[in-house]
């Protein structure tokens, strides 16, 4: 097997692992939100935690956190897009049901497929677009959006998160060659003032002791984010935005499955059918990507 095919396979596996971690993250964030821990508050403190962990790892491994001049702009764009994704998505659920926010947010794989020819050398792929539509329909069935009481603010925030996720994937592809620790550190340096400004504007800054209201949910939220984000940037350093975006369609399926187990939420026939549709779309995506490289997936 050539190194390109092996790297692509690793990228898809990392993307699926990241999706699973983020799926855990959104369920625990919802639980934390029920006791008054807002999305921006969770984002702000998880950024601080990530900076502490990355700084500690750099010291322990004696790794440099410096960026070359040509690496600064893509990392800056990646950090800004990431800040908007987390803040807008977690904030949207304060105005609309989680299911609605998820359906609006997960338009981003379709947006990536549509805009990939504009930002990369990849041509438009009708088969990839069809798979993206199939996965989106499956997601809509899985989360079963509640269309009652839709607040324009929540819809706008969820769509901003979708646009930001699209930008995030392309920015990550541009800084694929940047070492992992500097990429983590400087992107979160960019995210920190953005989230702090949002917290100050909304008056939502609370001391860390507030997390004692839901310590387990907060711990899972932060653990899911750290693992998910790390695997995400590792995945996006190995595969293009198109197939990566499709792989992340697995996240809401993981989230609903976890909610069914942890929160004892009952799943209906449409949700099972939607989950099956997403899985079929993901399998097709994997087969198509491997077949283009002349590799039969194991």
What is the tens place of the pLDDT at every residue in 177-220?
899 999 999 999 998 998 888 888 777 788 888 898 999 989 99
> Could you tell me the pLDDT band of residue 165, with boundaries at 50, 70 and 90?
very high
Query: Is 199 domain-assigned?
Result: yes
Count of the separate structural domains present in the chain: 1
Query: Is 298 domain-assigned?
Result: no
Burial 191-229 (b: 16+ CB within 10 A, else e): bbebbbebbeeeebebeeebbeebeebbebbbbbbbbbb
Q: Which domain holds residue 157?
A: 3-292
Query: Is 297 domain-assigned?
Result: no
Query: Is 181 domain-assigned?
Result: yes
Most confident of 116-130, 195-209, 229-243, 278-292: 229-243
Type and span of the H or E element at 226: helix 215-236
Q: What pLDDT, on the 0 to 100 scale, is given for residue 147?
A: 66
CA terminus-to-terminus distance, the chain: 12
**pLDDT surpassing 80 at residue 46:** yes
**Residue 77 and residue 237: Cα distance in Å, rounded?**
16
């Amino acid at each position: 097997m050539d190194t390109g095919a092996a790297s692509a396979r690793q990228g898809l596996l990392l993307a699926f692992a990241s999706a699973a971690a983020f799926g855990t993250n959104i369920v625990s964030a919802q639980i934390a939100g029920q006791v008054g821990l807002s999305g921006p508050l969770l984002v702000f403190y998880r950024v601080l935690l990530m900076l502490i962990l990355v700084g500690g790892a750099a010291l322990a491994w004696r790794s440099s956190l410096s960026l070359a001049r040509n690496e600064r702009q893509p990392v800056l764009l990646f950090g800004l897009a990431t800040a908007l994704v987390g803040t807008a998505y977690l904030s949207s659920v304060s105005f609309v049901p989680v299911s609605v926010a998820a359906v609006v947010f997960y338009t981003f794989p379709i947006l990536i497929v549509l805009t990939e020819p504009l930002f990369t050398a990849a041509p438009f792929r009708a088969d990839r677009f069809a798979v993206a539509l199939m996965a989106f329909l499956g997601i809509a069935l899985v989360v079963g959006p509640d269309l009652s009481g839709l607040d324009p603010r929540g819809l706008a925030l969820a769509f901003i998160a979708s646009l930001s996720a699209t930008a995030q994937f392309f920015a990550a592809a541009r800084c694929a060659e940047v070492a992992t620790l500097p990429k983590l550190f400087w992107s979160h340096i960019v995210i920190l003032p953005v989230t702090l400004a949002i917290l100050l504007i909304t008056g939502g800054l609370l001391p860390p002791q507030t997390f004692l209201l839901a310590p387990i949910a907060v711990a899972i939220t932060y653990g899911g984010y750290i693992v998910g984000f790390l695997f995400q940037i590792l995945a996006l350093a190995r595969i293009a935005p198109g197939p990566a975006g499709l792989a992340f369609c697995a996240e809401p399926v993981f989230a609903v499955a976890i909610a069914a187990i942890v929160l004892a939420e009952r799943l209906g026939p449409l949700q099972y059918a939607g989950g099956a549709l997403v899985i079929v779309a993901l399998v097709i995506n994997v087969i198509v990507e491997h077949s283009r490289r002349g590799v039969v997936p194991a």
